[in-house]
Amino acid sequence: MKKIKKTRLNGTFFILPAFIWHFCIIVVPACSMFYYSLTNWNGLSKPEFVGLANFRRMIHDTDFLFAIRNNLIWTVLFLFVPLVLGLGMALIFTKIGKIQMPLRTLCFLPYVISAAVSGKIFTVFYSPYSGVATIFDKLEIESLSNFAPLGDRAQALYAAAFVDNWHWWGFVLVLMMSALHQVSAELYEAADMEGAGFFQKLVHVTIPQIKPTIAAYFIFVIIATFTTFDYVWIMTQGGPAGATELLSTRIYKTNFLTYESGYSSAMSLSVCLFALSVYLILNYMQHRKGDRRE
């Protein structure tokens, strides 16, 4: 018992510097957000207490509500598109032997390109004067010769999400491949002996076996998509006409362009609480299922 206590004490000593550092630069500012969300601080002058006014304003703020809508679309896209693509390709790659490695590397390549670079590259691709539209124009496909998704309110969000998906799906592929490698070959053999087809094996063997990976992926994506910022900021800064505005870009603009730090703190706090509640719900559901199985 004494030995355990001493070991813990030693461990605490080692952790202490990092903990103090983390406490000062993460915990304190994060907690101060609670306070600032109740003020009308502009980032410079002395904050004045305004109670829940910022939260009331949020409910009627059409830009903020539109950003939530866009964020939900973004989340849904990221929950399913890279997963379906990644899992589908992983299933194919596990069957193709030696050629798998170069193909897997090729698919993973976009993931190592920085968001700034890929965002800029795709901005050029999407340009009506230098991008793919010029190819359509040369091919005399008139309906696509004016293809300029970043300037089209209906297409801009999906165009930006496509680039983020392109960057991200290679990672999901690798993640799914490693999950598939964990599935016991005996289960497939047993399914084969029972005469199960491809889809039956997928539904009854593969997916149940990699469910923990998929669940972790869901939690990660939900949290990550509510803080996503880079691609939209690089490609459109939330435009045109707010069509690609996400919560993070709205919060950034409110804080650094309109200098309403109190209001942006309230928005940040809401997003944090939302992401936290989603995480807790999913976690609770996972544990409940685990308990039932036991």
Q: Indicate which single residue of 60, 129, 292, 294 sits in contact with other proteins (rule: CB under 8 A).
A: 129
Q: Which of 242, 274, 278, 279 binds other proteins (CB under 8 A)?
A: 242
Closest to other proteins by CB, 45 or 143 = 45
Of these, 32, 130, 182, 277, which contacts other proteins (CB under 8 A)?
Answer: 130
* Per-residue b or e along 14-50, where b marks 16 or more CB atoms closer than 10 Å to that residue's CB: eeeeeeeeeeeeeeeeeeeeeebbbbbbbeeeebeeb
Q: Would you count residue 82 as binding other proteins (CB under 8 A)?
A: no
Binders of other proteins in range 254-293 (CB under 8 A) = 256-259
Q: Which burial class, exposed, middle or buried, applies to 81 when counting CB atoms under 10 A from its CB (0-12, 13-18, 19+)?
A: middle
Q: How far is the CB of 74 from other proteins (least distance, A)?
A: 19
Pairwise CA distance, residues 65 & 198, whole Å: 43
Asked whether position 231 contacts other proteins by CB under 8 A, the answer is no
Cα separation, 199 vs 128, in Å, equals: 42
Q: What character string, x for contact with other proteins (CB under 8 A) and - otherwise, covers 32-51? A: ----------xxxx------
Q: Tell me how crowded residue 205 is: count the other CB atoms within 10 A of its CB.
A: 17
First to last CA, the chain: 32
Instruction: List, in order, residues 6 or more apart from 48 with CB less than 8 Å away.
Output: 39, 40, 41
Could you say which of 30, 52, 241, 281 contacts other proteins (CB under 8 A)? 241
Q: Any contact of residue 14 with other proteins (CB under 8 A)? A: yes
240 near other proteins (CB under 8 A): yes
Q: Is the peptide bond before 240 cis (omega within 30 degrees of 0)?
A: yes
Q: With contacts defined by CB under 8 A, name the span among 100-108, 122-130, 178-186, 209-217 that binds other proteins.
A: 122-130
Which residues inside 141-180 make contact with other proteins, applying CB under 8 A? 148-153
| Closest by CA position to 211, among listed 152, 145, 282, 262 | 282
To other proteins, the closest distance from the beta carbon of 118 in angstroms equals 15
185 binds other proteins (CB under 8 A): no
Q: How many residues bind other proteins (CB under 8 A)?
A: 39
Q: Any long-range contacts for 199-202 (C-beta under 8 Å, 24+ apart)?
A: 202/91
The closest of 148, 158, 157, 154 to 128, measured between CA atoms, is 148
Smallest gap from residue 16 Cβ to other proteins (A):
6
**Which one of residues 1, 4, 17, 199 is an interface residue with other proteins (CB under 8 A)?**
17
Chain-centre distance for alpha carbon 146: 30
The reply to whether 199 sits near other proteins by the rule CB under 8 A is no
Our finding on whether 90 is near other proteins (CB under 8 A) is no
Nearer to other proteins, 44 or 59 (CB): 44
Can you give the binding site for other proteins, defined by CB under 8 A? 6, 10, 13-14, 16-17, 20-21, 42-45, 123, 126-130, 148-153, 234-243, 253, 256-259
